[in-house]
Structure 1
Amino acid sequence: MRRALRLLPIPFSIALALPAWAADEKPVSYALCPVEDPIPAFDGAPAAVAPQDQAARRQQIQLLPTEIFGDRQEGTSSTTTYQGDVVLTRGDQFLRADNLRLDQEQGTYTADGNVRYQDAGIRVIAKRASGNQDQDTHNIEQVQYQLMARRGNGIADSIHMAGPEGQLLGSTYTTCDPHDPAWHRWYLRAREIDINTDEGFATAHHATVRIGKVPVLYAPWFRFPIDDRRQTGLLYPSVGLSGKNGFDYEQPIYLNLAPNYDATLYPRYMSSRGILLGGEFRYLYHGGEGKLEGAWMSSDDLVRERADDYANALPGSGDEDIYGDPLQDKNRGFFRFRGHHDLDSSWQARADYSWISDSRYLEDNGGISSGDGVRYSVLTNTAGLYGRSRYWSARAEAQTYQLSDYTISEETLPYDALPRLSFRYDRPILDWLNVGMNTELTRFEHSDKDGGSRLDIKPYVSIPLRGPSWFVEPGLAYRYTAYELDKDLADQLGGERSPTRSTPIATLDAGLYFDRDTSWGGTPFLQTLEPRLYYLNVPYREQSNLPLFDTRMMTFSYGQLFRDNRFSSADRQTDANQLTLALTSRSIRQTDGLEKFNVSLGQILYFEDSNVVLDSSQEPIRNGKSAWVADSNYMPSDRWTLGASYQYDANNSRADLISFRSRYLIGSDGVVNLSYRYRRDVLKQADFSFLYPINPVWSLVGRYYYSFQDNKTLEAIAGVQWDSCCLAVRLVGRHYVRNREGDQDNQLQVEFVLKGLSSIGKDTDKNLRRSILGYYRDDLYLVPPSVTAPNVDDSDETSSAPF
């Protein structure tokens, strides 16, 4: 009797074949879909719970007995006919029909009359099912199905299976509700799909994707995988239109090379520029992973236009500087490698290396691996060994730089570190005593300048004394820095090739915690008052004879009030006799611990002049007071957040920094952002962005990003989105600065999102997610997007990476 159920796994062919096209990588919402299933649950069927391991499930079911019930049973020992309400069950498999005939000698079966089947993966209604179990052939006619493990439904005129091979004729697949209006739905229809379950692939003939009744994609023939075994083939293309690129079409081609490595090719046609060939290679193993990507363009019409402008520039007009290197007929491309290898539980080798053919490449092609290429001025390349344990961390790395901004010269590039060796140690010896040491040895080199070597050692000790409402932590450090300079650089700095600097550093950090219970509008709050003092004393050391390899002035901010150096690295150590006065207050909602309000205010009192500067162009900090630094955040409601930062220089009666930011959440997915940023003599910008849901179906998106200092719109976005249960359409226009000369470009992007399948058109998601903080709510909580990587067959082993 168990043989009677051999037909039951066959409807899985539908579940495997058509939905295998799906390539959902973006968040998809089915909130607008009806609660009812396209095929209602069958009476008497077991609850459909999708298993985690299909192979294990099938093995378990093979061991279970088959139970058959019917209103009437007729026949002989070899042929049995069940009539009436016939029910077959085995595990979670359920078959119901009006009639069932079994021929044990011939191995044939026939089920007809309102045939219904359900298991953990699919629910099926069919007119008739028949076959030969001995020959493993099966035929199912006039099929309607609904997937259980994922959203999806459709029909098939017939299914024919012979062992692992079979055909689906006149089949469709969609994630839409069949009762929706036609123009709300998309569906995939194939005249014939040939299936091979052993090899894990199918071949579709004359397949069409339609939105409503309009065909939007046609393929006369193609192969695609029907299970989680990856297969070589075409991925969904990207189509766009812009003033810079013209008509833009990219067709990804996926190459399945091995279980733990794969590749994807990205041929791209741009009508205004030419053909670009890109690709990526990924690998994964138990000790690490990596990714190589690159692109190549043998001739770029955009470069030729730029060369013509360069040739026509009037000598001495300055236009030569605008157009720069003409790069006429020069090959263009980029390469990037990122990867790591775990040596053991504490040590890891990793690298991130990039190369571009010219300093305009990122600007013209939107950056490496995505992003806005105008934002990058320098590419940083690193490779090395990195270690970490409970009390220490160490690294031995090489760091190089490449220019990606044609408006600056190679001389402005940072020094390469070849190599950089560092070790940090910090450990509590007693409950009241901490000791530690920071050391670094670096060799600095530059293609246009002389370099040298630097040794920096900084041992320190601190005494953390703490109570329930107070803390006092005195600290003492000693910083020793020594150089070995190349001759020409030493001559520029006074002739000493081995200068040194040694400086004691004394700090005292102390604070109090006051709190009280209060209430706002009947809600209990805990209000705190947290005064803090930070004293820093560092004697002056002459440092004009020391080079500037990798040191910059740090941006003044609230955090800078509590640092022992206002420079970013070891080439300069500030001298100081100063005291920071700071005060913080918080209001914490006691019902859930949410911080509804905080404000921090601080200022540095300089008891003496601070005379150490980067170079002669800077002025020392005079005896007196620093600018006031204030920072505050307030939540008027759980949906509305306000924040502001302010720096006021009382000595000169001017504001050095003003920052305002606000965010309001609308419904379950809407958001409005407004911010203003001002830094004296640097920038003055306003940024407004929103995703506004008009109703559950329609929403508007937009951004207006303006520079008052340049009197120019940096980016403007306007778009409309329409959403339904299974289909979404986005129309987005974008006006933006596309290069460092300030030239602007326009884009028009249209995207059809076929939920459960893929999207057709230009990927609007990347620009909207970058431009509108909170476009996906998870972005507000800094949840990284998932990254798909090749699988490793042996899942029992895990990586021991310490990072």
Structure 2
Amino acid sequence: MLRSAAYTRVTLVLCALLAVPAAMASENGSSIESAKRSEPRAAAMCQQLPLAANLPMLVEGPENGPVHLTADDVSLDKEGISTLLGKVRVMQGGQEFSSEALNYDDKNRTIEVRAESLFRSKQMNIKSQSADFDLNTQSGAFNNTLFTLPSRAARGSADVVQVNQHGTANIRRIRYTTCGPDSNAWYLAATKVHLDYDEGMGSATNARLELGGVPVFYMPYFRFPIDNERHTGLLFPTVGITENMGFDFRQPIYLNIAPNIDDTFTPRYMSKRGTQLGNSFRYLLEQSEGKLDLEYLHEDRQTQDRRTFLEFQHDSLINPRLALDIHVADVSDEQYFEDFGGTRIDSSALTYLDRSARLTYQAPASYTVNVMVQDYQTIDNTILPADEPYRRVPQIRLDALTPNSFYNTRAGLGAEYDYFTRPNSIDGQRLDLQPFLRLEKDNIAWYTTSQIDARYTAYQLSNVAPGQPSAPQRTVPTFSTEGGLRFERITANGSVQTLEPQLMYLYTPYRNQNDIPTFDSGEPDFDVTELFSRNRYSGIDRIADANQAAFALSSRLLDPNTGQVRLTATIGQIYRFTAPEVTLPGFVSPGNGATDFISTLDYRLSSHWAASSLLQWAPGDRQFNRANFAVRYREDETSATGKRLDLVYRYRRGVLEQSDVVASIPLFEGWRAAGRWRYSIEDNRTLDVLGGLEYETCCWALRTSYRRYVANTSGRFDNGIYVQLELKGMTRIGTGFTGLLPINDTLPQ
């Protein structure tokens, strides 16, 4: 009986061949958890021919199970050497070694093969012209090999695969590709590869990447991981060219400090800006995690200024009821994201950077305590200092609700203390108390909710203007009652349609609040959720007086088999019996009578098509104040024949009118086009245009794109040419047009 570990060792050696390109391709090697690599489309990978035909399927079995031998003929000479001839098969644990001839020395426990042999497992197939193996030392060599890796749709060759006694292996003259048998479009080659399983690392000597037989990348020596552990080393660089940056090259260096701590240091060279140093440090503890990102450019060649960026994020669960969250961000100047892009913060339409620390306690009973300090950095130069947000140093908030109802009635309290400060502005302390009683009743066909509360707010102000009170107070009661009905019917095609009318009455008496500063109050956009809000202002400093009724009518269409919502539609309006008098500084009262109609629609027309809309109609002016429409098409985006189409229209009266078209479609076999055109109808100019072309085979793809877009609030345009080469199963180099398209929203479920 042969020892099973011998064949396990062969499997490990060949698995390392698979690990080499995967390790080199890891563009997210700094992940503390398992790296989520962007896998190529499975349907687009090459089909590798089997190394031998008409072989029976592998039989699963335990890895350390017995070894079975079969042959047409077996002979034994006087030295104890067995010769197995004709359809020799050695099988163990889902692995198989087959040949037409094999010599087995029982005394020395060695195997000698001088004929063509094939080793098979789920992970790989390897064909060799000769092989020697010592079962005592579990070492040996396979000569003149060809291999395929079915899980990665890859193939390759090696002159010698040598397994050594002490957990190491040497491979000479290896070539690796994911191209099909009839194509050598690209190869990864090395004269020598050394694998150390105890260390979990491998090394390659004289490694080169060949495209069409032409060497394009050479490394005399590099190390790479061969297991699932993280290892210190170089990650693949990224290269680009833009009008703003010029030639842009980044080389990430990954440092595996500890099992729960890592760091990625990224020097970045920009021909028009200089050399920037970036660093991303991350940690993962038992009850917390965090990261620290830094970018530093000593002297910008265009501005002659020092440019820096910092972001720190920490989230921890101190105990099951106490949590701490910290977020700090800072940039050296307002134009940083316009010039260098939001590589770590989503910089689109960004006006402030948040700096806050929040401590949250969730009590066993029904109350929560939050303690927060918060500051902002304004990075929009169009915002005046008087309009910048206030700092909260601190905010303390309590929310409590009785755990059990008494005849459907519950009592609660909202309490908040804030200290607000801002340079050259009114500073002050604010205490807000809001006790309430709530009566709730919910049935299958109807529901009602009524609430009465009294809100007391007291201020202690400094830096007030002469004649203005420094300690204003306000007490405002509010009563609301809300109810709704739920109707259902079965339509002619068997779908379930609901009809849900909803009505709310709200009353808040007028209280003069002109002496109260607006630390955190604002007026949000009018939408469906605002129909049933108990205060049309956000924050606490303005409590709107109200004597109004809100009505909404909603309908849903549900698939009877899956329960999937195919359509959701809502329309509503508020009718004010008296004109509100409480306003924000610089704003006028909206007046009494009916407000605008607001409506939303989400409709999944089919498995591929969906439409959505938001309309705000002013009946008095007989025109729209807001209108948003979107039609989206999605078809199997993960395949080579996938399609995407977005048609979007946005309108806000007197502010903007824009159209946005996004498309990604296959042209003919191997070719795909993608593009985006965002156009301002109001200004009669293009805001963002992108055109891209892709050619894809089963083992490589080339994508080119051009983009011209508004880069900052002053209207400056930037141009970029992007090229991405993807070697499937290995890496992607450059920036593809997919990453330049807006977020690929899926169809609503």
Q: 1:526 to 1:685 in 2, by over 3 A?
A: same
Structure 2 Cα separation of the partners of residues 145 and 384 of structure 1: 56
* 2:631 maps to 1:662: yes
Structure 1 Cα separation of the partners of residues 117 and 430 of structure 2: 81
Structure 1 Cα separation of the partners of residues 661 and 276 of structure 2: 35
Q: 1:192 to 1:570 in 2, by over 3 A?
A: same
Question: Is 2:46–2:699's contact at 8 Å kept on the other side of the alignment?
Answer: no
Amino acid at match of 1:603: Q
Question: Is 2:4–2:92's contact at 8 Å kept on the other side of the alignment?
Answer: no
5+ residue gaps in structure 1?
A: 50-59, 304-328, 783-803
Structure 2 Cα separation of the partners of residues 47 and 719 of structure 1: 48
Structure 2 Cα separation of the partners of residues 464 and 270 of structure 1: 62
* 2:181 maps to 1:178: yes
* 2:409 maps to 1:433: yes
Q: 1:27 to 1:388 in 2, by over 3 A?
A: farther
Q: Counterpart of 1:313?
A: none
Q: Deviations over 1:702-753 (max 9, x none)?
A: 1111122233321111111222223222111101011221110111101012
* 2:506 maps to 1:536: yes
Structure 2 Cα separation of the partners of residues 464 and 129 of structure 1: 80
* 2:727 maps to 1:715: no
Structure 1 Cα separation of the partners of residues 214 and 447 of structure 2: 71
Q: Counterpart of 1:26?
A: 38
Within 5 Å, give how 1:502-541 maps onto structure 2: 502-519=475-492, 523-541=493-511
Amino acid at match of 1:423: L
Structure 2 Cα separation of the partners of residues 573 and 85 of structure 1: 89
Structure 1 Cα separation of the partners of residues 458 and 59 of structure 2: 74
Q: Counterpart of 2:255?
A: 255
* 2:411 maps to 1:442: no
Structure 1 Cα separation of the partners of residues 404 and 683 of structure 2: 52
Structure 2 Cα separation of the partners of residues 35 and 645 of structure 1: 48
Structure 2 Cα separation of the partners of residues 330 and 642 of structure 1: 48
5+ residue gaps in structure 2?
A: 27-36
* 2:578 maps to 1:608: yes
Q: 3-state DSSP class of the match of 2:580? A: coil
Within 5 Å, give how 1:14-413 maps onto structure 2: 14-22=14-22, 23=25, 25-33=37-45, 38-39=50-51, 43-47=55-59, 61-62=63-64, 64-73=65-74, 74-76=76-78, 78-163=80-165, 164-179=167-182, 181-183=183-185, 186-303=186-303, 329-369=304-344, 371=346, 373=347, 375-388=349-362, 391-413=366-388
Question: Is 2:205–2:222's contact at 8 Å kept on the other side of the alignment?
Answer: yes
Q: 3-state DSSP class of the match of 1:501? A: strand
Structure 2 Cα separation of the partners of residues 360 and 7 of structure 1: 61
Question: Is 1:666–1:692's contact at 8 Å kept on the other side of the alignment?
Answer: no
Structure 2 Cα separation of the partners of residues 275 and 138 of structure 1: 50
Number of residue-to-residue matches in the alignment: 729
Question: Is 2:4–2:66's contact at 8 Å kept on the other side of the alignment?
Answer: no
* 2:424 maps to 1:455: no
Q: Shift of residue 150 of structure 1? A: 4.2
Structure 2 Cα separation of the partners of residues 728 and 781 of structure 1: 31
Amino acid at match of 1:432: N
Q: Deviations over 1:609-638 (max 9, x none)?
A: 1000011x2111212111111222333333
Amino acid at match of 1:636: L
Amino acid at match of 1:773: N
Amino acid at match of 1:30: A
Over the matched positions of the two proteins, sequence identity in percent amounts to 31
Q: Shift of residue 20 of structure 1? A: 3.0
Q: Shift of residue 177 of structure 1? A: 2.7
Q: Shift of residue 18 of structure 1? A: 4.8
Question: Is 1:584–1:598's contact at 8 Å kept on the other side of the alignment?
Answer: yes
* 2:392 maps to 1:423: no
Q: Shift of residue 156 of structure 1? A: 1.1
Amino acid at match of 1:644: S
Higher alpha-carbon deviation: 537-546 or 656-665? 656-665
Q: Shift of residue 298 of structure 1? A: 0.6
Within 5 Å, give how 1:357-756 maps onto structure 2: 357-369=332-344, 371=346, 373=347, 375-388=349-362, 391-426=366-401, 427-430=403-406, 432-486=408-462, 488-489=463-464, 491=465, 494-519=467-492, 523-615=493-585, 617-668=586-637, 669-695=642-668, 697-756=670-729
Structure 1 Cα separation of the partners of residues 113 and 713 of structure 2: 72
TM-score (norm 2): 0.92
Q: Shift of residue 694 of structure 1? A: 2.4
Structure 2 Cα separation of the partners of residues 228 and 278 of structure 1: 26
Amino acid at match of 1:549: F
Question: Is 1:4–1:109's contact at 8 Å kept on the other side of the alignment?
Answer: no
Higher alpha-carbon deviation: 647-656 or 268-277? 647-656
Q: Deviations over 1:672-713 (max 9, x none)?
A: 111111112222111111111224532211111112223332
Q: Counterpart of 1:788?
A: none
Q: 3-state DSSP class of the match of 1:194? A: strand
Question: Is 1:524–1:591's contact at 8 Å kept on the other side of the alignment?
Answer: no
Question: Is 1:112–1:128's contact at 8 Å kept on the other side of the alignment?
Answer: yes
Q: 1:424 to 1:48 in 2, by over 3 A?
A: farther
Structure 1 Cα separation of the partners of residues 430 and 20 of structure 2: 58
Q: Deviations over 1:444-496 (max 9, x none)?
A: 1223323111122222222222222222221112222121212x13x36x432
Higher relative contact order (CA closer than 8 Å, sequence separation 6+)? 1
Q: Shift of residue 423 of structure 1? A: 2.2
Q: Counterpart of 2:32?
A: none
